[in-house]
Amino acid sequence: MKTRKTEASRLPLLSRRRFVGGSALATGAFAIWTQRSHAETINTGAGVDFGSPASTPWVWPLAFAKHAVPLPAWKSLFPVVNPAAHQRYEEFVPQKFYDICTSEHLSRPHPQYAASTLFAYQNSVPGVTFMMRYGEPVLCRIRNELPAAVQGFGNPDVITHVHNGHHASESDGYPEDFYSPGTYLDYHWPNIYAGGDWRESKGTLWYHDHRVDYTAQNTYRGLAGFWLLFDHLDSGNENDPNPDAFRLPSGVPDGVRVKGCYDIPLIFTDRRYDPMGRLVMDVMNMDGHLGDKMLVNGRIQPYFEVERRKYRFRLLDGGPSRLYRFELSNGMSFMHIANDGNMLAAPIEVQFVELGVAERADIVVDFSQVPEGVNELYLINRMLQQDGRKPTGDILPVADSSQLLKFIIRPETNVPDNSRVPSLLRPMPERSAAVVRTRDIRLDRSNGMWTVNGRVWNRDRVDVAFKQNTAEIWRLSTSGGWAHPLHIHMEEMHVLRLNDEPVDGTILHARKDVFTLFPGDEMEIYVRFRDWLGRYPMHCHNTVHEDHAMMARIEVAP
């Protein structure tokens, strides 16, 4: 159990059957809020919609969150911390302490749009960036300072999940462990390698609200941020004297501090706005919510000035339902170094990367390769998607693609660059645990509800009983006309086969925590759970599907 300031009261849950079939809200309704936090429901009528207002591109620079700052030493002892509430706490005694709040925050994505009242971690959208290191255990207190009754969509009860975190169940952000305004939870993040294996290192993680039934709405309203993890190899220092260090482009921006920073986190989201430029969400759309404005780090079509040298970009599909195909507008190639934020065995030179919701890709772009005289290019999305179900399968011509981010290349030449992309990165861990069974996991739809193996989410039911330190083969499949990015908490899995084809030599030959399935796909993965016990969810990360019951409970037992 997590430490609570007070026992968090729970609001009564609206049953999913009533929500789908008998809600007082009309189908197609949009929830809206303004800078005065006034909210209303607009019945747009079946099939009627308004598009977001026009916005001039490349007006604002790319924004960056500030780094989360640990408490100074003299403040590091929290009152009422209960070590017994956390697995292996005395083994991994916290060395750093954070005090973070969730609260309302006024923000606008573009100067031509109105300000909307968002939810935020530490008054920042995206949320503050956590900079973590292996071997430095952390205790983080997250206080809920949202109002008890919020205007518009979303829910004031929260629970934070570090996506791809290797954390005990009580600190994982289990969806049913939400807590109310005026209370807090303590999260113990030990920052250890899974199974004690350095090959299991994770790098690009993110954190977001995971409140059951409201993950889509609360993250859409702003509760998400980056959580980066470093070790002796991926050290975050391109001048590292350690001969084994990767020395990748380094320096993560800290708020307005951008100069000298070449490790750039980018979260891509799509949103929809009313004619005044106020954020709206169609809360009755069960297929998936698709916005008509694509944002990078919370801004519509920002620009970013770069030097003629290498940059590491950490790309994250922040959802809620859109998939992306990222390319550079001039067609130049770049190095793909990490999949789902985890280092590949060796970098791969590519011209595009495709991401499902919650998937990540780390890439290195060398702007010194851009011809002299060319001073701008664009990061574009060529994936055509017209609704929340799935992409159409068509790749847009470059001229018709969505321009997401403008790179302005500074004219200086001979820019110092001590970074590199090593020919070898991090080898795949061995699949050493004994396989004890094969299990089928099917993502489907039944009676208008999203299901896992034919069943909707039930907080009291164990769907997968898993014995610690064993392994299983899971056969993932889906049907119907939807794409489903399946996320499994706590551990990373190995993809063995996709549609009867081995994945060796492909980008799927990597450690992954999200598995994007398209209609008719069948994927075979190797699954194991090692260091922690308790309950963990797996769910579709099209968060609209997740909130409408496409989630199952895994129970890891000794």
- Per the rule left: phi > 0, alpha: psi between -120 and 50, beta: everything else, 100 is beta
Average confidence score pLDDT of the chain: 90
Superfamily of domain 435-557 in CATH is: Cupredoxins -  blue copper proteins (2.60.40.420)
Q: How confident is the model at residue 77 (pLDDT cuts 50, 70, 90)?
A: low
Between 21 and 274, where is the model more confident? 274
Given a cut of 50, whether residue 408 has pLDDT beyond it is: yes
Contacts 24+ apart (CB under 8 A), 13-18: 13/212, 13/213, 14/213, 16/213, 16/449, 16/456, 16/548, 16/549
Share of the chain above pLDDT 90, in %: 84
Share of the chain above pLDDT 70, in %: 90
Give tens-digit pLDDT for 491-511. Answer: 999 999 999 999 988 889 999
- The CATH number assigned to the domain with range 16-230 reads 2.60.40.420
- The CATH number assigned to the domain with range 263-409 reads 2.60.40.420
Domain ranges of the chain: 16-230, 263-409, 435-557
pLDDT of 76: 67
Judged by DSSP in three states, 219 sits in helix
- Give the mean pLDDT of 253-266: 96
Q: How confident is the model at residue 433 (pLDDT cuts 50, 70, 90)?
A: confident
How far, in Å, CA of 103 to CA of 118, rounded?
A: 8
Q: Do domains 263-409 and 435-557 have the same CATH topology?
A: yes
Give tens-digit pLDDT for 521-542. Answer: 999 999 999 999 999 999 999 9
Give tens-digit pLDDT for 46-74. Answer: 344 569 999 999 999 999 999 999 998 76
Q: Are 120 and 59 in contact (CB under 8 A)?
A: no
